[in-house]
A and B are shown apart, each in its own frame.
Chain A
Amino acid sequence: MLGSSLTRINAMVLRHLFVLRRSWLRILEIVYWPTMQLFLWGFITLFFLKHSTWLAQAAGVLISAVLLWDVLFRSNLGVTLPFIEEMWARNLASLFITPLRPIELVLSLAILSFIRTTISVTPAALIALPLFQVWVFDVGFGLIAFFLNLLFMGWCIGLTVAAIVLRFGLAAESLCWLGVFLLAPISCIYYPITTLPEWLQAIAVALPAAHVFEGMRYVLFDGVFRWDLFVRATTLNGIYMVLSTVFFLRMFHVARVKGLLLQQGE
């Protein structure tokens, strides 16, 4: 039972790796944006080091933030892009007349997201050392904790967006890119939560990302890993993971009632 489930998940991962293998342009696109972001924020950092005492205390804070933000953004895209690709290819009906279960599709999307995010962020993280003397791996265990929490949050956003696209069709596909940016200002990527007005702080603390970026700043400025922030982010992610999976499965049920699996494509 578990064996056949893993075989089907593997088949879905393989399906998208075949696409990547065939197109170097796609791999280039995955790597391109984080690298460009790194250059941009790297030079901004060099400039502010001379003009900001705050930034001078921890030179890597902006670069680490931009790389971690990209983990969240890429992890979200890692779920939504393979999903809408199935819709563009009008392939969902063919997939769901096989024994593939919706939850197995969800798990395969999560694995694909991990692969795409790793491909995406690793080159930028590596070239930050020779170019800007920032070695993000200095963050140590915290880096894994931050990476995983942002990866999970990206999955939650991606799964929610995929469910909306399944329900409302490809007219909603731009949410794949826009959805995560809606949360960017209150994720407090580049500034402390206290920068926000009080009413927005109340919303921000409900986001795992806000705790992750706050935690990152504690590590870089004070050399302290704040377990309380880690626990808060992880607990929130656990809750959102359950909610987004239930929402996706519910929308899948609605799609079967309304015949939406048969009407995909442009």
Chain B
Amino acid sequence: MALLEYATPTVQAKGLVKKYGKILAVNDISFTISKGETIGLLGGNGAGKTTTIAMLLGLLLPTAGQIKIFGEDIEKGRNRVLSKMNFSSPYVDFPKRLSVVENLNVYARLYGLENVTAVINRVAQNMELEEFLQRPTGSLSAGQMTRVSLAKALLNDPELLLLDEPTASLDPDTGDTVRSHIENWKTEKGATILLASHNMNEVERLCSKVMVMAKGQIIDKGSPSELVDRYGRSSLEEVFLDIVRQEKINREN
């Protein structure tokens, strides 16, 4: 049983296409993410990263292709699948009039968790949010909001965590603390992570593999060090710049 669980990839995307009218946002991509892997999703603005993540979350229906998460078709087993995954992005808001603890309370219940207070205290402690729990969410700074978003994403101890720019708008010190929390949590739980980020240091630190997207397609993949070698550069940041600038030139031509 345990072997079978490891043999089934956590995420299987096959022939994914998303069209908005004539615009092709995602163009026939396929990939798998194995249990326990942390995969980075890189690409410039408009490369198709957010669209891909939205399809994995079930917020967006693909025009073509199939997504299986934990071996289950996301459309058929949406309820079971979503209860074992979560998502964090500083670009997703919370009801601002509710306090932090009220927001976390509502989400804990939506995930059907028991011992809601204990769970909230645990994630609040991990994200150093205890002193903000009673404050209206709308009164928090961008950095504090990001930590609330991460706390919400860890409420249900997800087996699959999708992160979109998880440390954007955090100062370097808080960003580093949050990355450490993600690393510790991942090591402890053996969870799978898909991370979309423009912070290359973060990607190099957290990800074992990277998929690079441009114009809705996956144009390269490999470990960070493999990509650095392949492009003959000294860091992933330089590889990213090469790819994005090349894409810009192609678009202009």
Q: Which residues of A come within 8 Å of B, CB atoms?
A: 4, 7-8, 10-12, 14-15, 18-19, 22-23, 85-86, 89-91, 93-101, 253, 256-259, 261-262, 265
Interface SS majority for chain A: helix
Q: At the interface, yes or no: B222 with Cβ under 8 Å from chain A?
A: no
Q: Which A residue's beta carbon lies closest to that of B79?
A: A99
Q: For residue B109, which residues in chain A have a CB less than 8 angstroms away from its CB? A: 7-8, 10-11, 14
Q: How far is the CA of A257 from the CA of B64 in the complex (A)?
A: 11
6 tightest A-B CB contacts, nearest first: A11-B109, A98-B110, A90-B93, A89-B95, A15-B106, A99-B83
Sample of 13 more A-B contacts, CB < 8 Å, known A22-B97, A91-B93, A97-B82: A15-B95, A18-B106, A94-B93, A96-B58, A98-B83, A98-B110, A98-B111, A99-B78, A256-B59, A257-B61, A259-B54, A261-B60, A262-B59
Query: Which of A14, A94, A258 has the most C-beta atoms of chain B within 10 angstroms of its own C-beta?
Result: A94
Query: What is the distance, in angstroms, from B84's C-beta to the closest C-beta of chain A?
Result: 9
Interface residue from B61, B87, B92, B106 paired with A256 (Cβ < 8 Å) = B61
Q: Which DSSP category, helix, strand, loop or mixed, fits chain B's interface?
A: mixed
Contacting residues, chain B, for A261 (C-beta < 8 A): 59-60
Tell me how far the C-beta of B58 lies from the nearest C-beta in chain A, rounded to whole angstroms. Answer: 7
Please measure, in the bound complex, the distance between the C-alpha atom of A7 and the C-alpha atom of B109, giving whole angstroms. 6
Interface residues in B40-94 (C-beta closer than 8 Å to A): 50-51, 54, 57-61, 78-80, 82-83, 85-87, 92-94
Identify the closest chain A residue to B111 (Cβ): A98
A11–B60 contact, CB under 8 A? no
B102 touches A95 (CB 8 A): no
A contact residues around B61 at 8 Å (CB): 253, 256-257
Bound complex: CA A12 to CA B111 (Å): 12
| Complex-state Cα separation, A259 to B51, whole angstroms | 9
- Provide the residues of chain A in CB contact with B85, threshold 8 Å: 97
Shortest CB-to-CB span from A81 to chain B, Å, is 13
B64–chain A nearest beta-carbon distance, Å: 12
Interface: B98 (CB within 8 A): yes
